[in-house]
Amino acid sequence: VSFTVTVLGSSSALPTSERNFSAHVLNVDERFFLIDCGEATQIQLRRFKIKFGRINHIFITHLHGDHILGLPGLVSSYGLLGRKNDLHIYAFAELENMMNDFSKFLGANLPFSIIFHHLDPHSTQLIYQNSKMEVYSFPLMHSSPTCGFLFKEKEKERNIKKEVVDKHQLSVKDILDIKAGADLINNAGKTIPNKDLTISPHKPRSYAYCSDTLYHEAVVPVIKNVDLLYHEATFSESNSKYAQETMHATAKQAAQIALKAKAKKLIIGHFSARQKNVSVLLNEARQLFPETYLANDGVVFNVDQVRGT
């Protein structure tokens, strides 16, 4: 079962010839979640061959142009392609007004519904869940109200070993009890401990997206032990005054957050056009947090399934 992040763009507010505006798409078991949607995100989705008809949920961190200007065009393309499924957009309330202002330029009526979910900029909220996963928004600290997002698989029940069901001729009730952790008393009256009947399920996987933000330690408990952490790293240490002025983070600060959160892997992006050589940022982050990688356009990060013990 996939749990994969594709980087659609890695620039900050000014794109370059190599970097489009920051946006990611998360694929959980062939359901796609889009995070941020700057101009040309629909072009990047095509370029990187994402099945973007399968995106039903779009998460917008904040209402700066470089995170939203691709939405009207994407919505328009969905209309032209005859989309039927509801499209859910999670964003601050004002985005709904913007999209309404825009709808008059998008030609005929859309053949699908857009359902807006308004974010709370002040607290951590569960904003979406299905049978397998949950999504939380949490406050970041930027020049405009901003949320990060945490995508997390739900805890799974233990799996019964294949041979156990036949051997002991288990009833449905037995099976449910054992999956929930019960031991089994067999026909001979002997107790077989749960750990001999079951194997550990896959550990829930998780991915957190933190952009745009100053260094903000309040996120650490929310994203604790995350498998994959994306944290913006707009500037190098030598440009830290720009980071402070524009309310962005440095690569070192991103690494500090990853370290405190005990993240397994850190990816950094949202690079300023001032940073001609982003390997400087990578090196600065790796000094603190070796498992750091660059979120270059088109790069794919996979989180493997691992069984618990």
CA 93 centroid distance within chain: 21
Task: Please report the sign of the dihedral spanned by the C-alpha atoms of residue 19, residue 21, residue 22, residue 25.
Answer: negative
Catalytic residue among 66, 212, 227, 297: 66
Among 6, 10, 20, 206, binds its own copies (CB under 8 A): 20
Among 7, 59, 66, 256, binds its own copies (CB under 8 A): 66
Is the Cβ of residue 4 or residue 77 nearer to its own copies in the bound state?
77
Nearest to 157 by CA among 193, 126, 203, 191: 203
Among 15, 139, 148, 269, binds its own copies (CB under 8 A): 15
Among 101, 183, 196, 237, binds its own copies (CB under 8 A): 101
First to last CA, the chain: 19
Helix, strand, coil distribution of the chain in percent, nearest 5: 30, 30, 45
Binding of its own copies by 63 (CB under 8 A): yes
Binding of its own copies by 46 (CB under 8 A): yes
Q: Which of residues 205-234 bind its own copies (CB under 8 A)?
A: none
Binding of its own copies by 77 (CB under 8 A): yes
Contact 196, 163 (CB under 8 A): no
Specify whether 66 is catalytic. Answer: yes
Contact 248, 238 (CB under 8 A): no
CA 303, 305, 307: angle at the middle one, nearest 5? 140
Is the Cβ of residue 176 or residue 273 nearer to its own copies in the bound state?
273
**Closest CB 206 distance from its own copies, rounded Å:** 31
- Name the residue with tokens 């309310």: 247
**Closest CB 77 distance from its own copies, rounded Å:** 6
Report the interface residues with its own copies, using CB under 8 A: 13-17, 20, 38-40, 42-43, 46-47, 63-66, 68-70, 72-73, 76-77, 80-81, 98, 101-102, 105-107
